[in-house]
Amino acid sequence: MAGLIGVFGGTFDPPHLGHLTLAQSGIDDLDLDKVLWVLTQNPPHKPDDPISPLEPRHVMLQAAIKDHPSFEFSRIDIDRPSPHYATGTLRALREGNPKARYAYLMGEDSLRDLPTWHNPAEFVELCDMLGVMCRSSIQVDLEKLEETLPGISAKVRFSSVQEVDISASDIRRRVREGLPYDHLVPHAVAHIIHDLGLYK
């Protein structure tokens, strides 16, 4: 399906190779024109989770995607007031570019939890596609999901990308405990983590 812009939101604390794999799978498997990386300042669904300041995450994300011409950094959730729910992000993107078509990228765990999101029905309506990376430990019943969110089945496209078992929380733990982490993040991101003394 041509003419689609991928939307990939997250705190990216830090951005890692799993993030890059998911975004690239959107380009390769879902025929996206490009992927917008939307950096979330303070995710409302994780109010108690510690999160790094915006600036070092911004620097790391820019470094992670700079060599990928199909990836683009988006300030949509930086320049608008909080709270930053995915529904509001898509609404703001559509207001800024009404003719564009958007595919929201997520893991299968997020698809499973979608009914608990803020205004999930509007979110599904605003998406032209939901690009989902499968997880071996999760089985989503699309028929059941359709009962809660009518129309979602027609918009879900599963990516065939191989699952990448990397988490930002594990990377932060590795840094804190002095364990190797360079193999889990882009080289430029590893240098920034070291130089800024992040996650100590």
Q: All domains of the chain, ordered by start, with CATH? A: 4-196 (3.40.50.620)
| pTM, to two decimals | 0.91
Quick one: average pLDDT of 81-90?
92
**Tens digits of per-residue pLDDT, 9-46?**
999 999 999 999 889 988 998 989 999 999 998 777 65
pLDDT at 82 over 90: no
**pLDDT confidence tier of residue 89, bands split at 50, 70 and 90:** very high
Q: How far is CA 122 from CA 118, 127, 133, 200, in A?
A: 9, 9, 22, 40
pLDDT at 135 over 80: no
Give me the pLDDT at residue 49, please.
Answer: 67
* CA–CA distance, 53 with 147 (Å, rounded to integer): 39
Beta strands in 67-183 (DSSP E): 71-74, 101-107, 129-133, 156-159
pLDDT at 48 over 70: no
Burial of 2 (0-12, 13-18, 19+ CB in 10 A): exposed
Q: Is the dihedral of CA 119, 123, 125, 130 positive or negative?
A: negative
**Tens digits of per-residue pLDDT, 144-184?**
999 999 999 999 998 877 667 899 999 999 999 999 999 99
